[in-house]
Amino acid sequence: MTWRDKVVEALRTGFVLNERVMELAKRVERLDDDVRNIDRRLVRMETLVELAGRQQRLPGGAV
């Protein structure tokens, strides 16, 4: 294998690695969006549970 072949192979490997890293970055972004959506939903559910608990403790509150 000549030095040119080695350089070409190194460049090719670099391009393949770059593609893989870019694809992983896209997947991480999608996962981040999913986690944020789940967090928002959880906060809403926690709020509903907290409000329901407060309503039951109020005088004359529905039981």
Q: Where are the domains of the chain?
A: 24-63
Give the model confidence (pLDDT) of 17-47 as tens digits. 999 999 999 999 999 999 999 999 999 999 9
**Does 49 score more than 80 pLDDT?**
yes
- Quick check: pTM over 0.85? no
Task: Indicate whether 62 pLDDT > 70.
Answer: no
Residue 63 has pLDDT above 80, yes or no: no
Sign of the Cα pseudo-torsion (35, 38, 44, 45, in order)? negative
Confidence (pLDDT) at 60? 66
How many CA atoms, within 13 angstroms, populate the side-chain half-sphere of residue 51? 6
Predicted pLDDT of residue 59: 74
